[in-house]
C-alpha cells in the first residue's frame, strides 16, 4: 500500500514539473536585425464545467518591435473551425480582440492512428490587458467562429491558474525583466 501511495506522489510531482516546463517563456534574438522575441507554447485552459481541459489552448508571442501588444495564439482542438474573434472577461470587464490579418491555420498530425484536428489563429491583445491576469480573481475566454458558434473556457478561477494562464503570465514576466 505504501508503494502505491509513493508511486502516486512521485507521478504527480513529475506532472507538475512537466506543466511548468511547457508553460515556460522562451527568448529568441534575431540574427537578422537583433530584435528580441519572447514566446510560450500553447497550453489548455479549464473547461467551464470544472478544472479539466477545454478544447481551447493559449500561448503568446511578443516582439520588441511592437512592445504594446502580445499576439495571443488561440488553438481550438477537435475540429477545423474558422476563428473570428477573441473575448476576455477579466473580473466582469469584457473586451473583444481582433485577429491578425491572416487565415486560420488548420493542422492534424500525420502518421498517427488517431489524428486530432486543430485550428489556430493569433489575436492582438494589449500587454496591459494580459498583465491584469496577475491580479484578477476570475478570467474567462470566449472564441467565436464564422459558422460554428463559439468555444468557452476558464483561464483563471478562485486563484487557480490554468496552464494557458501560466503561458501568458510567463511571457509577461519575461518582458518585464
What is the value of pTM for the model shown? Answer: 0.81
- Phi and psi angles of residue 7, each rounded to the nearest 5 degrees, phi first: -65, -40
Joined grid coordinates for residue 1: 500500500
Alpha-carbon distance 39 to 74, whole Å?
13
- Quick one: CATH architecture of 2-175? Sandwich (2.60)
Q: What is the pLDDT of residues 79-132, one digit of tens each?
A: 889 999 999 999 999 999 999 987 677 776 655 545 688 899 999 999 999 999
For the chain, the structural domain boundaries read 2-175
DSSP 108-172: --SS-SS---EEEEEEEEEHHHHHGGGT-SEEEEEEEESSS-EEEEEEEETTEEPHHHHHHHHHH
Q: How confident is the model at residue 5 (pLDDT cuts 50, 70, 90)?
A: very low
How high is the mean pLDDT of the chain?
85
Which residue, 28, 17, 45, is CA-closest to 154? 45
Q: Which helix (H) or strand (E) holds 16?
A: helix 2-22
Amino acid at each position: 500500500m505504501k508503494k502505491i501511495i509513493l508511486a502516486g506522489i512521485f507521478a504527480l510531482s513529475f506532472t507538475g514539473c512537466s506543466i511548468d516546463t511547457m508553460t515556460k517563456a522562451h527568448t529568441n534574438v534575431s540574427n537578422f536585425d537583433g530584435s528580441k522575441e519572447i514566446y510560450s507554447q500553447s497550453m489548455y485552459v479549464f473547461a467551464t464545467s470544472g478544472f479539466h481541459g477545454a478544447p481551447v489552448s493559449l500561448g503568446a508571442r511578443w516582439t520588441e518591435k511592437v512592445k504594446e501588444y502580445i499576439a495571443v495564439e488561440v488553438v481550438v482542438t477537435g475540429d477545423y473551425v474558422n476563428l473570428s474573434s477573441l473575448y476576455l472577461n477579466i473580473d466582469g470587464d469584457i473586451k473583444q480582440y481582433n485577429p491578425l490579418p491572416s487565415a486560420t491555420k488548420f493542422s492534424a498530425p500525420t502518421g498517427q492512428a488517431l489524428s486530432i484536428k486543430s485550428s489556430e489563429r493569433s489575436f492582438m491583445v494589449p500587454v496591459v490587458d494580459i498583465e491584469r491576469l496577475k491580479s484578477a480573481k476570475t478570467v474567462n475566454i470566449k472564441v467565436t467562429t464564422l459558422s460554428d458558434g463559439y468555444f468557452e473556457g476558464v483561464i483563471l478561477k478562485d486563484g487557480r491558474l490554468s496552464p494557458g494562464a501560466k503561458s501568458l503570465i510567463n511571457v509577461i514576466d519575461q518582458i518585464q525583466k
